[in-house]
Amino acid sequence: HAYVTGGSKGLGKAIAKLLASKGAHVTIIARDKDHLQIALEEIKDAAKGREDYKNLIFNAISADVTNYEDSVRALNEACDLHNGRAPDFIFCCAGACKPGLFIEQDISEFESGMQLNYHGTLYTVHVRVKRMTRQRIKGKIVLVSSVLGVMSFIGFSQYAPTKYALRGLAETLRNELLLYDISVHCYFAGTIDSPGLQQENKTKPKITSEIEGDDVALSPDQAAKALYKSLCKGHFHITSDLGGNICRVASKGAVSPTNNFIVDSLLSAFAWVCKNKINFYFVLYIL
């Protein structure tokens, strides 16, 4: 049984579809009921070819993950369909980015960004981990950070700190939840061609777009597939593109496990080059 927040669009919906096609029960959480219904149909379609299709339970719950009580209610509803049993897999995909220049952005945009991206995930994880440990359910928790949770530059002061915070939460919980055999994974998503990206590009400063350059965006389905593949391998820090992988290695932290020692070491060398490239472009731009 997989529980996916932000499951009505973009990456969340793509993961839900992929898991359904692999035979998982899936519950998706989002606010907008119309989008939830559309997503639920797509998820059912993805599983239709399976022999066990009739036994699979798909469910969509409208809830606001930035509200703790609502997160509790959503979990309870999801558990009720499974005889009270907590979900085995949790994917926290709800999140949004509003780029802008630091001094031009209103403080409320910083607050609402932290509330959705960090606290929205924290609430979901806290409620579920408490129930998982009570029921002694081993499982996986996937936090969706961003490449902007390992490096950042002009234009992302509203967003990057929230994704850094998620990395810090993942780093702590990876270690702490070993006690209960719950594995924690942190996905540093790169650019994904989703409704969120279109929203984001509306307020993105020109300089930010220029530094990003012709960043190749993955489709939500491609990102979901890459994430799933890494989860099967048991990676803690997960990326789905070369740029993200280089950033991951460059900032993997002191207690985070390496994915592959040789590959990671080679990428470290690239990281040094890339780092100077970003700084170089930036200096070029302001001159």
* Shortest distance in whole angstroms from residue 178 CB to a second copy: 7
3-state DSSP assignment of residue 235: coil
Per-residue DSSP letter, 100: -
For the question of residue 180 being annotated catalytic, the response is: no
The tokens 């700190």 sit on which residue?
Answer: 161
| Active-site entry in 9, 13, 163, 252 | 163
Instruction: Specify whether 159 is catalytic.
Output: yes
- At its nearest, how many Å lie between a second copy and the CB of residue 126? 6
Shortest distance, CB of residue 107 to a second copy, whole angstroms? 6
Complete DSSP assignment for 119-184? IHHHHHHHHHHHHHHHTT--EEEEEEEEGGGT---TT-TTTHHHHHHHHHHHHHHHHHGGGGTEEE
Question: Could you say which of 3, 118, 123, 159 is catalytic?
Answer: 159
The angle subtended at Cα 174 by Cα 172 and Cα 180, nearest 5°, is: 115
Tell me which of 59, 124, 157, 230 binds a second copy, using CB under 8 A: 157
**Shortest distance (Å) from residue 22 CB to a second copy:** 29
Site for a second copy in 228-287 (CB under 8 A): 246-247, 250-257, 271, 274-275, 278-279, 282, 286
According to CB under 8 A, which one of 9, 119, 185, 237 is a site residue for a second copy? 119
Query: Taking Cα atoms as reference points, which of 50, 59, 64 lies closest to residue 3?
Result: 59
Among 33, 45, 48, 102, binds a second copy (CB under 8 A): 102
DSSP code string of 265-281:
HHHHHHHHHHHHHHHHH
Helix (H, G, I), strand (E, B) or coil at 112: helix
Residue number, 232 or 283, with CB nearest to a second copy: 283
> Which residues make up the interface to a second copy (CB under 8 A)?
68, 101-103, 107, 110-111, 114, 118-119, 122-123, 126, 129-130, 133, 148-157, 160-169, 171-173, 175-179, 246-247, 250-257, 271, 274-275, 278-279, 282, 286
